[in-house]
Structure 1
Amino acid sequence: MKYNLLVLASVALLASCKDDTEPTPPPTADFTAPESTEQTVAVSFQNKSKNAQRYVWDFGDGSTGQEDNPTHTYTTDGVYSVKLKAFGTEKNDSITKTIKIEPYNIFAHTNLPFAGTYACKVVDVYSVYQSPAIRTRLPDQDVVITKDGVNTMRWNNLVLSYLPSDRNSPQTPFNSRYQFYNANTSSSPRVITYASFYTSGDSASFSVAKTVGASNSGTTTFYYGKRRP
């Protein structure tokens, strides 16, 4: 009887000395993000990882981060592989997902209808950067503007691209106006065209400066137009 009691006491003592702490589960990396968005629009990444203590993000464009739930802005369209690595106390886990960055669509972010037919006053200026400049009033002209792409429009037969004041933030208009341009500098004479569109209620007005030749000795034709109803 005493022997049995001694055995039971020993078992109880060993049980009390046993390390009853559970092993730490390994981390599981996971996150969610939009499948696609536009360039220069901040992307929010939602971290869904478990049992991790720190994180390392690789956004696929050469940028990295260590925030739990980061935001990142892509300045160039394309498909990027985003990798999240989750670190636990002893182990780590990683997951990679792709995100498609579309070209910025200026027409989706403004209520200004650019397209239409504009009645224009036309002025020809020779040597606009010299004084005195020679100005010649030309006959009035109708100009047709049509949407050509997500951030380009066609002025007659010339394609104009949206030119923001800050290339990293094209959702910001250029000083309260929307500016487009086309530069052909590889041929002679060179031709550089700038078009600025302004809001006016539900209407639109614009000015186009088209320079042919060198900036200090060429001819610039200015078109000042208002869209017909």
Structure 2
Amino acid sequence: MKFSLKSITILFAASLAVSCSKEDILEITKPSVDFSFTGTNLPAPALVSFNSTSPEAITYFWEFGDGTVSSEKNPKHTYTSGGNYNVKLTVNSAKSSNSITKSITVLKALSTVKITKIEVVAIPPTNGILNWDSATDKPDIYVQLFDETGVSSLKSNTIWNFIPSIAIPFTVTFTTPLTTTNLTNTILKVQVWDDDSDSNSTGLNPDDKIGEVPFKIINYTTGTNKYPPFVTESVNGTLVTMHMTWE
């Protein structure tokens, strides 16, 4: 069968037109792809939640930018280190695929806590479980804060003739905050004492420990309320609030 040059030209043009038409169709039928996220701009470890908004998608492939992936529709991912990450979502529909990349930021992990203030909110009655008042005067309380290195606050913060029912907490503010970088193992112990030195002329009435409240720092570095500005703990009627800053 013979073809003229004119015929060949027409056939080539028709073939090119069909080819372009198929590409246009593929472009049109690409599924829309997008996603939103929450939990960024927080210190690591940061749990980031991703939500696909790709209505035509059948399958999902997430690349979180730190070498890990997921095929869930709406995954959650924990970033253990601070940095900027490019997150890519690729979706497939019945006919084609499409992808989108967004940048997220996770702040560097905090490594230091500074204790700035202690508030004694409540103490147990003298005739309670501890029966702490060995003298007959009103309690004269002071606070000692212990960490693994020893006492960081001495009797200089004593408040005299303290009335346990007082509404305003007894507050000790540290001129130089107690700083610790061991956020995993540090347990800070707040001890509340009754100073009996004003009635201890015979040496028979040593100071009485009213209560002791431990604060385990690692408990405040995880969860939905991690790195809080203050925490409150209570043991046997001694209620203490510790104020802190994180760096």
- The question of a shared fold, defined as TM-score above 0.5 by the shorter chain, is answered with no
- TM-score under structure 1 length normalisation: 0.44
Higher-helix-fraction structure: 2
Q: Which has the higher contact order (CA 8 A, sep 6+)?
A: 2
Higher-strand-fraction structure: 1
